Amino acid sequence: MASTVVRPDWNLENSLYLTVDGKPAVLWFTQDEFKVSALGRQGGAPEAVKLCTALKHVLHAELVNGQAEIATLALKQKAHVVLRIHGRHREGEEEIAQAWMGRLKSAAGCVVPGRRVKVIVNPFGGQGKGRHIWEHRARPVFEAAKCLVDVTMTTHGGHAEELASALDVDAYDAIAVVSGDGVVYETFNGLAKHKQPRRALRMPVAHIPAGSGNAFTVSLLGIKDCRDVALAALNVVKGRVMAMDLASCTQGDTRRITFVSQTLGLMADLDLGTEGMRWMGDKRFIVGFIRGVITMKPCPVKIWLKVAESDKQKMADVFRMHAGAKGGEAGNGDAVGPTVAADGALDGDEELPPLKYRDTDNEGWVEFPEKIIYLYGGMMPYVSRDFMQFPVAEMNDGYLDLCLQTPTSRGTLLGSQDGAEAGKQFFLPSQHYFKVHAYRAIPLAKQGNVAIDGERWPFLPFQVEVHPGLGRTLSMLGRWAGEGGFLAE
Ligand SMILES: Nc1ncnc2c1ncn2[C@@H]1O[C@H](COP(=O)(O)OP(=O)(O)OP(=O)(O)O)[C@@H](O)[C@H]1O
């Protein structure tokens, strides 16, 4: 690693002298950074920084038989990897070293060793790289943070659902799913089928990206970091437990949990109609979008809404107010354990929340009066790396976000993709955006596509209703990433 000149942020309080690889070195931390430097020739101030990484990347520090061991993430080429530093403290400085390690761990928000994580890996996810991603890029982070992992490689579709439905919820602190969004969908649905569903859904579910659609990771980490597996693993080992809205999607007698999206019309066609292009990764969604805009098929459907807010400006104002109140990063730390959900889910009621709305309810509902070309419902900002469909989505605001795109020119729709990664299409007049408690869609065409969390559903009427704070995830940010995209500009 190239050496850089030492900045004057070195102070005795936060520094520790060690002999690393037979050479004197000093390790120190500031409010945001952890650094290692070769010591000056006279044993004085450090001369050149050998390592500089974010303080939150420090995974663990301890003294073992007088030997200091520190594990941190460090950037190697374009991705983070685990770096271990071993060194011997100076004669008679054991107590100093011990105290310094404690200060480092507390400043870096290191968790108490022993976080128990159930890891579910789809070995075939991400064009067959799932196993490799877990073994070589994620597992080392869990080991360095001293987590206890119990790993299952899925052997068939639906396996994650079976595992989650039979999970011993006392045996784990969190579930990490190494896959695309499809296996996370199965995991939430398995927890919902558990004999104690509410209790099971209090188990945080986090994601390590190994699929072609990784909306969950993009929404947890943001566009810049979402491909960095080590950072996704860091989010599992150091993230705080956050309540997260989930929803039920019902169709006839079927009731399933949805956590990412529901689509009909152009957006469902592009999701399900591009299955053969999975080799492209998430670029297949862009190709599908352009294809859909060129065809511009109408989407005949009746839509009924239980609206909470329909004024985009008000939604943006509320979002900014909440973002301001939450501040920047919520920090990290050992926060595994139940948090209180918005709907008081810790009140001992173990059943899945009963549905509030029937598919015949009309009181207080409104019918959307215009024609649409697509419907897009969801609860997290990103639906792919290039597309922030829901810039004002919040992790636990208790609403579903629903976009109804009415017909407009092809130029406008294609132009809306410029800045879509920051949600700039939000204020398009032809795009109607609602915060709803529930909605119902009754397709009127003979055939078409309905995609719920990327899974094909029968092309029949469906209804979706939100369950505020029913699920849990892990987040070092304490909110969805993206900060409202262009709204933060
Ligand atoms: N071992 C397995 N064999 C076959 N199918 C599996 C296996 N494990 C999981 N699946 C299925 O694979 C599907 C896709 O999984 P996943 O969520 O990992 O990726 P994706 O992004 O949806 O797609 P991709 O396969 O393109 O990465 C899920 O519906 C799941 O049921």
Expressed in angstroms and rounded, the spacing between residue 297 Cα and the centre of ligand 1 is: 29
- Alpha-carbon distance of 146 to 173, in angstroms, equals 14
127 CA closest ligand 1 atom index? 27
**CATH number (domain holding residue 77):** 2.30.29.30
Residues 6+ away with beta carbon under 8 Å from 194: 164, 165, 166, 167, 169, 200, 201
153 CA closest ligand 1 atom index? 1
Helix ranges (DSSP H) in 361-481? 410-415
277 or 162, higher pLDDT: 162
Q: Which two tokens stand for residue 424?
A: 């700039």
Question: Looking at the 3D structure of the chain, how many domains does it have?
Answer: 2
Q: Which two tokens stand for residue 168?
A: 């011993």
Question: Residue 4 in contact with residue 49, Cβ under 8 Å?
Answer: yes
Q: What is the DSSP letter of 315?
A: H
Give 68's Cβ-side CA count (13 Å radius).
27
181 CA closest ligand 1 atom index? 17
Determine which of 88-97, 152-161, 342-351, 427-436 has the lowest per-residue pLDDT on average.
Answer: 342-351
- Alpha-carbon distance of 413 to 405, in angstroms, equals 10
Residue-wise burial string across 428-464, b where 16 or more C-beta atoms lie within 10 A, e elsewhere: bebbbbbbbbbbbbebeeeebbbbbbbbebeeebbbb
145 and 78, same domain (yes or no)? no
Domain boundary among 108, 138, 170: 108
- Alpha-carbon distance of 321 to 475, in angstroms, equals 20
Expressed in angstroms and rounded, the spacing between residue 210 Cα and the centre of ligand 1 is: 10
Q: How does pLDDT run across 87-134, given as a tens digit for each residue?
A: 999 888 999 999 999 999 999 999 888 999 999 999 998 778 999 999
Q: How does pLDDT run across 201-230, given as a tens digit for each residue?
A: 999 999 999 988 799 999 999 999 999 999
Residues enclosing ligand 1, CB less than 6 A?
A: 122-126, 154-159, 179-183, 186, 211-213, 278, 454
Collapsing DSSP states into helix, strand and coil, what is residue 268? helix
Question: Residue 118 in contact with residue 176, Cβ under 8 Å?
Answer: yes
User: Quick one: how far is CA 58 from the chain centroid?
Assistant: 20
Letter for the amino acid at 346?
L
Of all protein residues, the one whose alpha carbon is nearest to atom 28 of ligand 1 is 182
Expressed in angstroms and rounded, the spacing between residue 21 Cα and the centre of ligand 1 is: 45
75 and 124, same domain (yes or no)? no
174 and 318, same domain (yes or no)? yes
9 and 68, same domain (yes or no)? yes
For the purposes of burial, counting CB atoms within 10 Å of the CB of 363, is it exposed (0-12), middle (13-18) or buried (19 or more)?
A: exposed
142 and 56, same domain (yes or no)? no
Q: Which two tokens stand for residue 487?
A: 């709204």
- pLDDT at position 376: 97
Question: Residue 5 in contact with residue 37, Cβ under 8 Å?
Answer: no
Q: 45 pLDDT band (50/70/90 cuts)?
A: low
Ligand 1 pocket test target in 122, 161, 205 with most atoms within 8 Å of CB: 122
pLDDT of residue 158 exceeding 90, the answer is: yes
β partners of residue 28: 15, 35
Question: Residue 100 in contact with residue 63, Cβ under 8 Å?
Answer: no
β partners of residue 70: 61, 85
Q: 12 pLDDT band (50/70/90 cuts)?
A: low
Q: What is the DSSP letter of 352?
A: P
- pLDDT at position 44: 59
**Residue-number span of the structural domain to which 208 is assigned:** 116-488
28 and 158, same domain (yes or no)? no
Letter for the amino acid at 425?
Q
- pLDDT at position 346: 47
Average pLDDT over all residues of the chain: 89
274 and 156, same domain (yes or no)? yes
217 and 173, same domain (yes or no)? yes
Tokens 């915060």 identify what position?
435
Of all protein residues, the one whose alpha carbon is nearest to atom 31 of ligand 1 is 157
Pick from 31, 29, 488, 56: nearest CA to 240: 56
Q: Which helix (H) or strand (E) holds 400?
A: strand 400-405
Q: 415 pLDDT band (50/70/90 cuts)?
A: confident
Describe the chain by its helix, strand, coil percentages, rounded to 5: 30, 35, 40
Expressed in angstroms and rounded, the spacing between residue 46 Cα and the centre of ligand 1 is: 50
- Alpha-carbon distance of 350 to 403, in angstroms, equals 33
Q: 337 phi and psi, to 5 degrees? A: 140, 165
158 and 132, same domain (yes or no)? yes
304 and 324, same domain (yes or no)? yes
- pLDDT at position 132: 96
Q: Which two tokens stand for residue 299?
A: 């989407």
Tokens 């005949």 identify what position?
300
Ligand 1 pocket test target in 119, 120, 121, 124 with most atoms within 8 Å of CB: 124
- Alpha-carbon distance of 386 to 381, in angstroms, equals 11
97 and 221, same domain (yes or no)? no
- Alpha-carbon distance of 272 to 362, in angstroms, equals 31
213 CA closest ligand 1 atom index? 21
- pLDDT at position 275: 66
79 and 158, same domain (yes or no)? no
Of all protein residues, the one whose alpha carbon is nearest to atom 3 of ligand 1 is 156
- pLDDT at position 58: 97
Q: 55 pLDDT band (50/70/90 cuts)?
A: very high
Domain boundary among 80, 108, 136: 108
- Alpha-carbon distance of 83 to 144, in angstroms, equals 9
Domain boundary among 62, 91, 108: 108
Q: 302 pLDDT band (50/70/90 cuts)?
A: very high
**CATH number (domain holding residue 222):** 2.60.200.40
